[in-house]
Chains A and B, each alone.
Chain A
Amino acid sequence: MVGIRSSHAHAAAVGTLLAFSIFTAASAQEIEHKSKEAVKGAPSPTVTQDELTKAAQDTKQFLHTNGNYEQTRYYLGKQINTANVAKLRPAWIFQMDVRESLETTPIIVGDVMYVTTSFDHVYALNAKTGEQYWHYKHKMGPITTYCCGPNNRGVAVYDDKVYLATLDAKLIALDAKTGSLVWETELADPESGYSETMAPTAVNGKIIIGTNGGEYGIRGFVRAYDAKTGKLVWNFDTVPENSVGVWATKDATGKDLHRDIEAEKAQFAKTGDPYKTLGGGVWQNPAVDLKLNRIFFVVGNPSPDLDGSQRPGDNLYTDSLVSLDLDTGKYVCHLQYIPHDVWDFDAVSPPILVDVKDKDGKVIPGVIHGGKTGFVYVHDRKDCSLIRFSEPMVAQENMWSLPTADGVRMLPGANGGVEWSPMAVNPKHSLAYAINLHQPMTYQVQSNPYPDGKLWLGGAFKVIPSEESFGNVTAVNYDTGKIKWQVKTPEPMMGGALATAGDLVFTGEANGWFRAYNAESGKVLWSFQCGAGVNAPPSAYSLDGKEYIVVGAGGNTQIDFKRGNNIIAFTLD
């Protein structure tokens, strides 16, 4: 309760404090230090590009939001494994000031852990003891326009800095040792619907960031900024000036989208290309292939979400996997999952780079993505083309019925399938682990003109109160598309997964349970009640020869799961 109100008071206080600073020589203190050792700052070793590159092999640190540039969330440590996970116990619990939706991935550098909260606070903690080194509170501007909660998914680390993107659409760099602000860059105007909830990605001296705002009629982007100065290096508009595409009548899996192409073409002749307000937010980190020197990311929904009448065409590159050149930001390839989406079925869960079997059984570099549709999509990394899609992980009913004025029922609902939650993989078993929602919704359409940066859904999607909602954890073989195992959960799932070489999969539930599953069978081997929704992706690290699993338990705004403010690190005795 406190954290929420605290944030509110903080937001109000910021404006006032800005005014206050006019009259005082010293500006407001924004960094807290708690322990005696904190006076000296955090013992933050610098992070080299080599360390970032080799993060997949690093069992001591967790340097990327999704573990490594490939985003496998596969941790090579085996100390915690199927034989002993039952003895896993909390090493420490840290309670943060903000008690609100918690989607952060803990990042571990040496023995320092960085976590973030809703409303853009950053904590540096002692990863061994949970003690606080410093606490940075972002001075939020008065105008924020964001969807789905005041979330922040974490920081990027590089050299001697920690990078954060904020709800008021800024990219900032902090001194890793002290938490003080080094530079701040405005990415876009929050009054026009731009916001940031994703974690940045650090690579080759650049900080890569996308934007949110697909519910507000933005024009999305992915950009690279100079890590040292905060200056723009390149920009890629996720919606090109020619967003029409090929007037596709089917989705990537061959299902009819029931588009009225003639009506769309007539609209196009009348109003032209809708690219300026077409949305295309990016919610999660890109995967980076340093050999190909390319990034792979997925793009969110078109604006307005449910009303396609104002946005004729395929609405490129919304609902797509996109690959760019890392140095220049130039387009390389894309694959659109759902052309002209009118269900908010955007691509959100971060793509994963992993070797996959192609149609002939030959092992090639692949990309996989868990969709709101409930499919795991498997691509050829070379040209983004689709090799296969999995069996559906959730029931698919009435797809693709067009939204009506009175509302049409469809399953999955607008949250998926797989929402923003990152999947994990275990390459040894060729398995991807996805967490899903089963949440039927009604889709209503209503046409409204662009409302100047306000919420622009073009209708409403509504949970059906009389129908049951639940979730599942699913293991999918990405070489065959077959489901290996599936465990039903009582609540819809949102958060993320971590797989380990100890043959475990960790993921949390809205009801507070954090569980370890046997990676091959899905058997639950360990559970811990965290007291609030575990709706954040777990991380793993080791210190002094001891492995830890760490996760945030703070609930979720988007589907209103029980809030909390805990970061919990687990270890064996």
Chain B
Amino acid sequence: MLLPYLRAQKEIPGVFGMRHIAISLGLIAAVTAFTAKSSFADGIDDKVQLCSGCHGENGIPQEKSTPIIWGQNEGYLYIELRDFKSGARKNDQMSAIVADLSKQDMKALAAHFAGLKWPNTAQPSPSKDITKQALTVIGSIGCTSCHLDQYQGDGSTPRLAGQQSGYLQKTMADFRDRSRGNNPGMSDLLNAAQPADLDPIAQYLASLTVIGGGQ
């Protein structure tokens, strides 16, 4: 019913958008390669290397409980670094790493990793029953209100789609028992879920890709 009335005032959106993204991502890769060598304050190159030690040389972390940060949203990465530094988010390893970072350094690091391509970890899709359980809880709490409909997040809200399942599960558990204390709103929301819901949610989110996102 819709298509016969469609006028050709622009390209077919799917095709156009994909091309646009491919160009954008290409540009990002090119520019960040350049800026990475040119614009960081002293010592940031070393920090990038340091990050890669755990978060992965190719964007895939060494441990399942370590988050993917390549392609993560810039505002989110900055806020987390800020919170590690202030102590609002606690992690011995990260606290030591961010201790000497300036606000400018943290913003530069966030921009750097946000500009990299999200890696493909090819995590398997869960069964229909597990997916259904995950979607019921997600719908009830309203996760997509902030993380958006492909769980790609935006700005200061993290991408969840394709994140490491082990990290997702640990994070949700940490929010629930408030050992991750830098977002009480998330703690409250996760406490509205049941412990048995966490694994299905983690499996489901980890298996997702973002359409048009390269993975």
Contacts and interface: CB of A to CB of B under 8 A. Distances in A.
A90 B2 CA distance: 9
A26 interface: no
Given A12-B115, A460-B141, A563 B17 contact: no
A456 interface: yes
Interface residues of A, number: 82
A142 B110 contact: yes
Interface stretch (A17-25, A67-75, A379-387): A17-25
Interface of A is mostly: loop
Nearest to A456: B185
Given A15-B74, A16-B35, A531-B2, A4 B188 contact: no
A460 B27 contact: no
Contact of B149 (A19, A142, A563): A563
Contact of A8 (B39, B110, B152, B186): B152
B154 A7 contact: yes
B127 interface: no
A144 B25 CA distance: 21
B139 A560 contact: yes
A254 interface: no
Contacts of B144: 557, 560
A7 B20 CA distance: 11
B75 A90 contact: no
A90 B139 contact: no
Contacts of B16: 2, 97
B210 A8 contact: yes
B28 A446 contact: no
A560 to B, nearest CB: 5
Interface residues of B, number: 66
Interface stretch (B3-11, B41-49, B91-99): B3-11
Contact of A451 (B10, B73, B154, B182): B182
Interface string B103-136: 0000100110011000000000000000000001
Interface stretch (A108-116, A146-154, A269-277, A427-435): A146-154
Contacts of A17: 27, 31
Contact of A13 (B28, B38, B139, B211): B28
B10 A143 contact: no
B158 to A, nearest CB: 12
B200 to A, nearest CB: 14
Contact of A142 (B9, B34, B74, B211): B74
Contacts of B74: 11-12, 15, 142
Contacts of A4: 148-150, 152, 210-212
A454 B76 CA distance: 11
A132 interface: yes
A144 B192 CA distance: 25
A47 interface: no
Contacts of B210: 4-5, 8
Interface stretch (A77-85, A225-233, A461-469, A478-486): A461-469
A476 B168 CA distance: 48
A49 to B, nearest CB: 33
A451 B188 contact: no
Contact of A454 (B27, B139, B154, B182): B182
A94 B192 contact: no
A89 B150 CA distance: 33
Contacts of A19: 31, 35, 39, 111
Nearest to B22: A9
A563 B148 CA distance: 11
Contact of B154 (A11, A20, A465): A11
B146 A16 contact: no
B212 A6 contact: yes
A565 B149 CA distance: 14
Interface string A438-467: 000010101011011011111110111100
B114 to A, nearest CB: 5
Contacts of A530: 2
Interface in A125-175: 129-132, 140-150, 167-168
Contact of B139 (A2, A9, A465): A465
Given A11-B154, A15-B115, A145-B156, A451 B6 contact: no
B50 interface: no
Main secondary structure of the interface of B (DSSP, over half): helix
B143 to A, nearest CB: 9
Contacts of B115: 12, 15-16
Nearest to B71: A12
A93 interface: yes
Interface in A1-54: 1-13, 15-17, 19-20, 22-23, 34-35
A20 B156 contact: no
Contacts of B53: none
Contacts of A398: none
Given A12-B115, A457-B185, A93 B2 contact: yes
Nearest to B25: A9
A407 interface: yes
Given A144-B75, A455-B146, A407 B31 contact: no
A1 B212 contact: yes
A100 B74 CA distance: 20
Given A8-B154, A9-B24, A529-B2, A2 B111 contact: no
Nearest to A5: B212
A336 B62 CA distance: 55
Contacts of A95: 6, 10, 13
* Residue from A140, A451, A559 with most neighbouring chain B CB atoms (10 Å): A451
A92 interface: yes
A16 B154 contact: no
Contacts of B148: 4, 100, 149-150, 557
A452 B152 contact: no
A189 to B, nearest CB: 12
A566 B6 CA distance: 10
Nearest to A150: B154
A448 B13 contact: no
22 contacts: A4-B210, A5-B17, A5-B152, A6-B24, A8-B152, A11-B74, A12-B73, A13-B28, A16-B31, A16-B115, A20-B31, A95-B13, A97-B16, A129-B7, A132-B10, A142-B75, A145-B75, A190-B156, A454-B182, A455-B183, A463-B139, A560-B145
